[in-house]
Structure 1
Amino acid sequence: MTSALSSDVASGPRRLARYAASLALLMLWNAPADARSLEAVIERGALTLCASSNALPFASKSGPVPGFQIELGEKIAEQLGVKLTREWVISAIQYRRADCDLVLDVIARKDTPPAGGVRTSRPYHRSGVVLAVRGDSQASSLAGLGPDQRVGVPVGSVVSMTLAKGGAATSPFAFEDDIVAALANREIEAAAVTPMTVGWFNQQHADKPLRLIPAFGDDQDLNWNIAAGLLRPDDQLRARVDAAIETLLADGTIARIYARYGIELRVPQ
């Protein structure tokens, strides 16, 4: 018991950072803040991005790579003619107190607008859930898995409930990086995760890459657009961020940033 507890404590910062990266937006919605205008951003000379300090491939405060959120944030700020400043956050309290202008990787759905004064930019990426298998797996679809072959799923997720209803054998995990690690270690036979997680894993483990199967492409609940979230922006600030993203998509900047982290940019729908 002592050994397991020590291991969990040691991995706590990594796990918390990963959790913060995935739930950042839910915490940010309730942040009390005044409206931020384009004029205020230009006058201050800075656009502030909220990000987790230890959650690659999303963001990192230290190390050789900053994370794709930091790189994209810098390019958006550059298009606005200002610098990017960072608010490093890992807890709900920090998100509520942080002075954020921008947070990236917002799930953008036309039928479910964000709450709390957050407005989304035009989408710049399409994400969702895919099925990952090892390179030596013979499976080419979800149906190709045997009844006793388990699929790793994020605990309490929509995909976990979808698979359970379909009779698939599943194993719940708290974090996606734990799921793909278990898959690589042959503890499970497949993983229901995002392409970003698989792409980053493959970049770090080129000797044993995982293979993607688009098993959930027809399920609207398991596919979504990704956008930038702006905290109570005026119309001018939102328009300038939209224009910045449009430029960065058109010249291939966003695609190149993603590629550095093993991620393929997908066209929003």
Structure 2
Amino acid sequence: MKKLMFAAAALALTAGGAMAQDVVRMGTEGAYPPYNFVNDAGQVDGFEVELGNELCKRAELNCTWVRNDWDSIIPNLVSGNYDTIMAGMNISDEREQVIAFSEPYTPPPPSAYAALSADADMGGIVAAQTNTIQAGYVAESGATLLEYATGDETIAAVRNGEADAVFADKDFLAPFVNESGGQLVWIEEGETVVVGKGIAIGMRKTDTELKAKFDAAIETMKADGTLNTMITKWFGEEAETFE
């Protein structure tokens, strides 16, 4: 569900070899609930952590989780600091020039605008997380884009009046809107925009064996219905699932 700067990522796609080591290091942000977050015990948690653990089990891989800030998550993958990205990352043409993706583990997720008023100006000042596909969409829309390092900061920008609205994954925004007591509302009654191809595991292009293992595990979860069950658990009965 995000877009990355690739300056550092262009270093090399030569740091492969995930399957040559005993542990597959799973990179995540830990700051994008319900996809990934840090729980009260200080451990990474969320939809992608539960899913990643199940995929590693099915693929017979020994996996561990590594946290990394969003704005450098692709460069640190290709430089070898970890072996995968599971961080709410949408497949996009731009990203596919730099890294490989697994089969998607969610359908293309909808994005939406939220604000303090339902008639807020979507063409005014709009907050989005830096280097996301939502930020790119806002920039191309003609609105004034304000980028922030984290999703939480985009919400804060609306609340403190720095931005007229925030544009992000609707699944990310929904808890903030629902728990705001009416302070935050959907613009255009929650009208959504699809700006990605589906969320998937990012990997180095050289790690073809690892990709094949994760692809096969994802397909088994789609086939037996457990992936749809997990999506519904974390995102609710209205969430888009696989047919």
State TM-score, norm by structure 2: 0.67
Matched, 1:50 2:27: yes
Task: Give the Cα–Cα distance (whole angstroms) in 2 for the partners of residues 249 and 100 of structure 1.
Answer: 26
2:140 equivalent in structure 1? 162
1:183 is displaced (CA, Å) by 3.3
Identity percentage of aligned residues = 20
Q: Distance between the aligned counterparts of 1:48 and 1:24, measured in 2?
A: 22
Q: Which amino acid aligns with 1:74?
A: N
Q: Distance in 2 between matches of 1:263 and 1:48?
A: 31
- Tell me the distance in 1 between the aligned counterparts of 2:192 and 2:6: 27
SS of 2:16's partner is coil
Q: 2:49 aligns with which of 52, 70, 87?
A: 70
- 1: CA distance, partners of 2:190 / 2:38: 33
1:123 aligned partner: 104
Report SS of the residue matched to 1:153: strand
Asked whether 1:197 is paired with 2:179, we answer: no
Cα separation, 2, equivalents of 1:202 and 1:83: 38
Q: CA deviation at 1:79?
A: 1.0
Q: Quote the offset at 1:77 in angstroms.
A: 0.4
The AA in structure 2 aligned to 1:174 is Y
* Distance verdict in 2 for CA 1:85–1:31, change over 3 Å: farther
CA contact (8 A) 1:200 1:263 kept: no
Once residues 242 and 200 of structure 2 are traced to their aligned partners in structure 1, the CA distance between those partners, rounded to angstroms, is 9
Provide Cα deviations, 1:210-249, integer angstroms capped at 9, x if missing partner: 43622535xxxx33322112222235x3232112112333
Q: Match for residue 249 of structure 1?
A: 222
Rg comparison, structure with higher value: 1
Conserved? CA contact 2:27–2:67, under 8 Å: yes
**Is the 2:110–2:170 Cα contact (8 Å) retained in structure 1?**
yes
Provide the rounded CA distance (Å) in 2 between the counterparts of 1:67 and 1:241: 19
SS of corresponding position for 1:224: coil
Question: Does the 8 Å CA contact 1:258/1:265 hold for their aligned counterparts?
Answer: yes
SS of the equivalent of 1:199 reads: helix
SS at match of 1:50: strand
CA distance in 1, matches of 2:166, 2:28: 26
Deviations 1:21-51 (A, max 9, x none): 96498756646413344xx46xx3x432022
Cross-structure match for 2:146: 172
Query: CA–CA distance in 2 between the matches of 1:124 and 1:248?
Result: 9
**1:132 aligned counterpart, secondary structure:** strand
Partners of 1:79 and 1:119 lie apart in 2 by 20
Matched, 1:114 2:96: yes
Matching residue of 1:4: none
2:90 partner SS:
strand
Native 8 Å contact 2:77 2:203 kept in 1: no
Amino acid at match of 1:240: K
Instruction: Provide the C-alpha distance between the structure 1 equivalents of 2:145 and 2:81, rounded to a whole number of angstroms.
Output: 38
- 1:227 is aligned to 2:187: no
Q: 1:246 to 1:216 in 2, by over 3 A?
A: same
Quick one: structure 1 residues 28 and 74, their matched pair in 2 at CA, closer, same or farther if it must change by over 3 Å? farther
Q: How many residues align?
A: 223
Q: CA offset at residue 96 of structure 1?
A: 5.3
**Amino acid paired to 2:49:** I
Q: State the Cα distance separating 1:74 from its structure 2 match.
A: 0.8
Alignment partner, residue 132 of structure 1 = 114
